[in-house]
Amino acid sequence: MYSKLSELTHRIFIGFDIPEKYLTERKRDYYYLISESIVDNNINLIGNALYISHNNISKLGMGKDNCLEYGDYIIWRREKKADLIIYQSEIEVPVIPSSEFLVISSVNTYLNEFVGREAGKSFLFRELSDLYKKNKYRNDILKNIGNIQIPIDSFDEDVEEDDESLGDFKKEPLDTSKIAIDREVQNVNSLVTRIEHEEIDLSTKFQRKMNLWKEDVMSRLIESMLIRFPLPAFYFDGTDEENWLVVDGLQRLSTIKKFVIDKTIRLTDLEYRTELEGKTFDELSRSDQRRIEEHQLTFYIVRKGTPARVKYSVFHRLNTGALILTNQEIRHAINQGQPADYVKELAELEEFKKIINFNIERMRDRETVLRYAAFKLTPYKDYTPTITDFLDNTMTSIYDVSKYTLDKYKSQFKKSLITARELFGAHAFRKTMFQDKQGGKFSNVLFEMWTVILSDLSDEERKKLVDNRKNVLKKFEDLMNNEDFQIIIDKKAYTKSSVEIRFKAVEDLIKGILR
């Protein structure tokens, strides 16, 4: 799955040409960034510093909106390629970039994590440099860079991609009569009442931070209500009428809460109601307070009975804002309580932690253990594609599984991991696991097969397998060298027939040794 670069950032803009007559080498209110000021990928104020006074900035019709923000990506041409630095300088005055630079501003969390990985950074460098080589760096630069396709949830160097990590979506017909998504118009007062009674979950179950906005951005949202500008719609999962989950609108909700309930925001940087600068909610006139309280908001509420597929679709379609959520983060958000807690318990087992070596951020570890639970709760012969739907449905079904059964499966999971480590060592669940050497990417396909099948064995059978370790490794090597089996593992892992073939092949391997 891919997302355009423009969808992962607030805006992309080119820097500004400021006439020389407005510039000075004396330290003034604004710093003007030119390419000569960048040394070793850092902004260096020694020797090449140019400044602009506040008066001159006003004459040019510019202001803080034209300045760099912490975390912005700064792109410029250097030699025969495009280069990039992330603005993290602690410069005392605002920085305005020159037209030598293109700025990717207000980068979201996913893009930051993506570029934070060496492979992700190299990927973006290649894309930018290719545009330059094709003479597209100057022509339609904003459009071309904005259209760069960034891989979503499939860029982990230590885990093999499969249908789930590539964003596999079912395209089958759906009974639309079961869809219940209501549109309601309510005022801020009703929203505040729900928040005060803890009937809206603001506890960031989505792996998002609630307080990402700066005070000036929050102030402008409050000003929008004061001047009766409409706000974007809010989306909630209202399956539990007593506890709505926020699907979209968390930062706006947080701002309203902090201003109206907590009284911790003082208005700043207002554009129209400048006479209210520095005021809290309690310091507003009653008429202004009433304007906020009576401001009309649009809610879209997913009601109880709506198929899980529709809920996941709502999340995915809205999932281009502050943070691109992974499939597992969405499952975690929707299925709070026993399902989310159980998957978390499995992922936190020491036996599991000892055997994985990949980045567990973004709930990758929980998605992996969910695969065990999925094929444990639903026998592989009853598997129905796609793997994404299969995992979605499993997460929801855990609500109805008894604690006794879950505890039993957890105990069997621990035993299967211990046995796998005894058989294959620290590099279990990799395609090289039959070899006594490190290497190879972690394979979710191998993980789900071996953990489920080993968990179904008795203690005596697991011990017998370990006693015949060399025979297990040899037979598994023969299986992995089978061309047809390789194709199934590599390219067709999650068709219904392929799942049955690969699980049965490992079952037969183990039965042959235990005879």
Q: Render pLDDT for 359-371 as a digit per residue (tens, 0 to 9).
A: 677 788 999 999 9
User: Distance of alpha carbon 356 from its chain centroid, rounded?
Assistant: 21
State the average pLDDT over residues 210-217. 74
Which of 496, 306, 313 is CA-nearest to residue 390?
A: 496
Q: Render pLDDT for 135-158 as a digit per residue (tens, 0 to 9).
A: 544 557 788 888 888 876 544 545
Per-residue pLDDT band at 169 (split at 50, 70, 90): very low
Q: Render pLDDT for 317-360 as a digit per residue (tens, 0 to 9).
A: 555 444 456 788 778 877 878 999 999 999 999 999 988 866 67
Decide: 338 and 399 in contact? Cβ < 8 Å. Answer: yes
**Residue 19 burial by CB count (10 A; 0-12/13-18/19+): exposed, middle or buried?**
exposed
Instruction: Take residue 187 and report the two structure tokens written for it.
Output: 């005022």
* Calpha distance 143→136 (Å, rounded): 10
User: Distance of alpha carbon 304 from its chain centroid, rounded?
Assistant: 26
116 Cβ contact list (under 8 Å, min separation 6): none
Q: Render pLDDT for 312-324 as a digit per residue (tens, 0 to 9).
A: 766 655 554 444 5
Per-residue pLDDT band at 513 (split at 50, 70, 90): very high
At 471, give phi and psi (nearest 5°). Answer: -65, -40
DSSP class of residue 231 equals P
Alpha helices in 7-94, H assignment, sequence order: 54-59
* Calpha distance 50→272 (Å, rounded): 32
Name the amino acid, one letter, at 18.
Answer: I
152 Cβ contact list (under 8 Å, min separation 6): 1, 2, 3, 110, 167, 324
Query: Does residue 173 carry a pLDDT above 60?
Result: no
* Calpha distance 448→379 (Å, rounded): 12
Q: Render pLDDT for 232-257 as a digit per residue (tens, 0 to 9).
A: 888 888 888 898 988 778 889 999 99
Instruction: Take residue 101 and report the two structure tokens written for it.
Output: 């630079």
58 Cβ contact list (under 8 Å, min separation 6): none
- Location of structure tokens 């068709």: 495
Q: What is the dihedral of CA 174, 177, 179, 184, to 10 degrees?
A: 150
Decide: 504 and 461 in contact? Cβ < 8 Å. Answer: no
